[in-house]
Structure 1
């Protein structure tokens, strides 16, 4: 089931981010700006991938102002490809991290810098408000002051909904004392960061979306999936049984963790895009899920 033109992001079902309904298969924009070899992506191809994603029913796109290469900005690619935006399209972005123009990472944003990051996302996307802003956290430190700034911007109408990213359960609880949290975005996959299982359960109990990133790449993280990561016997066996790829099985496994789990696989490859969306229709049996859990 590697993919066909008949697939639709609706096949995985829907979830509500606050008052916004999205298909559970979305799209991550991080890989739009660079090719797999690290070189800058082709602008027209990236624009075509974004437009094709929407044609396939994707209505949840994850991005950030710090997703850029020397020649490409993910936010500006999204703006060029999709503006004027479809009414049902939800664009989620992240603040906290930052990079200088050369691409070097800066220290995490201080509370007084967060408004500037929000405004930069607004400018690049050509929006008067952001549908969803996730505060990306670095380490176990308290987050109340920074999340409070975002809550104030929400009250001012610049942000519709808030989420948190790369957090621990106690940080989620801390944020929830300040403003409603509609999603948690953490690294997670069948064989990666399974320590987050408890947080996935907590989110389910509270009706909060859990949005895993690196679900396909796993330990490869920003570099992408590795051959070693696809060598697991059970993953390959389940993939063969369904005529699917290992990447599709990885995505399907995350979606089977609960109806509140959303997927945001990213790619700049049109064929991979179709295959990722098709993974939303892949149904794994209880036995297959148990085998994959043991392998992870």
Structure 2
């Protein structure tokens, strides 16, 4: 069997490392259709968050542009005051227009506005981990965006800074500017490299995984279930039958076995699917399983 650590440490060489269990929860799916508006079933959304924490999950991913502000408010309502070991990770660098489009919000002033909004809606004095989401090659250089983030880190508003939706070149640039704690890119069994979406290109996790491993940086895959399963093919279905599991569970297990530096955050708006996702952490894939999956 592959060795699969149960925990992962964020910013392991810093003065304030954060160790979390190696399966988190992404809140994006808690919103309404098209990641906009309130959830269809608000009581279930709150119960999902409470159940996740009750079962030992202690890493939650959110953003103030989910909803907008819907997931942050749900997290605060369901979980505040927060357990001491809970790490809440948010994202800045983007916003939503009334037509539901995704656009950059990444000037230093924009980023400060987003951080202050996240602090307010999450009811926190400091955000433990913030991902700067890159929205293509816009007019604001990466150096300027990260400079504003490091300024707020020095002010104590942010503990650790990560990058999201980054190419290998952008990650290398970021590493040259300051400590990068985590990377959040699209990644799944079936979707490993760059994919074009309506709001732009999303670099894949495979393109940066080895660099993350070299620097001890956790890679946090997003959209791993949404974009992975329709293209997964027969092999993941065969392994799912072998382990009496769903294809979604095998996708999560594959990520956990692929590298000890991967921290999956599968999201769902269903309490039943949450329990299935949590069970995936117990699936032990053999070296033969992993070789067959490729």
Q: Which moved more, 1:99-108 or 1:85-94?
A: 99-108
Number of residue pairs matched by the alignment = 273
Aligned partner of 1:287 in structure 2 is 288
- Give the C-alpha shift of residue 111 in structure 1: 2.4
CA distance in 2, matches of 1:250, 1:146: 33
Aligned partner of 1:253 in structure 2 is 254
Residue in structure 2 matching 1:20, options 1, 18, 21: 18
- Give the C-alpha shift of residue 35 in structure 1: 6.1
1:218 and 2:227 are equivalent in the alignment: yes
- Give the C-alpha shift of residue 12 in structure 1: 5.8
CA distance in 1, matches of 2:181, 2:35: 35
Larger proportion of strand: 2
Alignment of 1:188-227 (within 5 A): 188-194=187-193, 196-218=205-227
Alignment of 1:1-296 (within 5 A): 13-18=6-11, 19-34=17-32, 40-68=39-67, 73-100=70-97, 103-140=100-137, 142-194=141-193, 196-218=205-227, 228-229=230-231, 232-293=233-294
CA distance 1:235–1:172, shift in 2 (3 Å): same
- Give the C-alpha shift of residue 179 in structure 1: 2.1
- Give the C-alpha shift of residue 138 in structure 1: 1.8
SS of residue in 1 equivalent to 2:162:
strand
SS of residue in 1 equivalent to 2:222:
coil
Query: TM (normalized to structure 1)?
Result: 0.86
SS of residue in 2 equivalent to 1:170:
helix
SS of residue in 2 equivalent to 1:268:
coil
**Structure 1, unaligned runs of 5 or more:** 1-10, 220-224
Contact 1:12 1:280 in 2 (8 A): no
CA distance in 2, matches of 1:118, 1:287: 45
CA distance in 1, matches of 2:78, 2:287: 40
Q: Which moved more, 1:271-280 or 1:33-42?
A: 33-42
Instruction: Say what the alpha-carbon RMSD is for the aligned residues.
Output: 2.1
